[in-house]
Amino acid sequence: MKVCLIGNNLTTLSLAKNLINKDIKVFNYVTDSKLVSKTRTIGISNDSLNFFNREIIKLKKNMIWDIKKIDIYSEKYKYKKILNFEESRSNLFSTFLNSEIIKYLEKNLKKNKLFKKILVKKNQSLKKIINNKFDLIVNCDANNSIAKEFFFRKITKKYKSKAFTCIIKHQKIPNKSATQIFTKLGPIAFLPLSNFKTSVVFSVSTEDKNYTDKEILKLIKFYNYKYKIINLSKLEKFNLSFSASRIYSYKNILGFGDVIHRVHPLAGQGFNITLRDIKVLSKLIQNRIELGLPLDNSIFQDFEKKTKHLNYIFTSAVDFVHEFFKLDNKINNNYSKNFFNLVDKNSRLNRFFSQYANKGLVL
């Protein structure tokens, strides 16, 4: 069995390792060899982390940082805490640097005879390279020619905002609590990576103004109340958008990861949704192997039936949260505060939202 994966990102490498664990040959075609982000941080739920460790690769303890608590504040309510999520017996989620996990996966895959990485030159056609010699083809790159030609039918929204990311090095403190502040410019999240290092993700509206890096760094310092900063890393930035693909597959090609869904980073759910997709696809492939059936594009149809509606509902819910807070900051009333107090004080509602973030939507 031979599978072609297209893309040079965490999604591609995670799926590749999962398939190789099933003794499937994986050919990874990449259209560029760009360095990955040095400041992008991934938040991974307990359910997703357990799957990653069990069916992709076991992560070393020093690669991840466990988060016990999330405190949510609003600038509108003078930085008063409006929500709190906490697990006394376990972790709410864990964080890791995207670049470190990619390097760890790459190092492991390079040693495996079932994995082969091929760089596609600029003048080469992806369509000609990935012919019918593969049982399955999965495209994990949202910016290549295949995504643009076959997976352009999408529900999309541009947020007119940018995400700025950086790493804070600070004086050592007990750092097991993540913080999110809904500011008048957009949500800013402080995600601990260790007792002396914290990641910042600041989603800033650019509707009225384009902010310079210097201005953003000044704002990060302004909204920081918790850390005694030693230094800040260089900022990285990218435009924010929402998208949900209307089709998941074309002939023998499956769209995957950002190709089929993009979500606002405020809830930290992007990679978790992708890992749930890998779990579904992995199970479908494993069932075929155990039954002695061939791997063909009917797997893609089954995958779409099982995931498309859930992914759309889940990503739309994250989009709703973004729009809700955006609107709430413009309205001069305290109605939302009453709702937050209800969720915060009601243990069942609080538990529901925690489980929703952990395992996603199950119908």
CA-nearest of 31, 67, 260, 62 to 155 is 260
pTM of the model: 0.90
Predicted local confidence at residue 132, as pLDDT: 63
| Cα Dmax for the chain | 63
Terminal C-alpha separation, the chain: 33
**Radius of gyration over alpha carbons of the chain, in Å?**
21
CATH 3.40.50.1220, applies to 2-64+104-157+243-359:
no
Query: Which residue positions in the chain have pLDDT lower than 70?
Result: 33-35, 87-88, 123, 129-132, 332-363
> Which alpha helices (H) appear in the chain, and where do they start and end?
10-20, 46-55, 98-110, 126-129, 145-150, 213-223, 270-291, 298-328, 335-345, 347-359
CA-nearest of 53, 56, 82 to 70 is 82
Q: Which residue has the tokens 């609080």?
A: 350
- 69-74 and 177-182 strand pairing: parallel
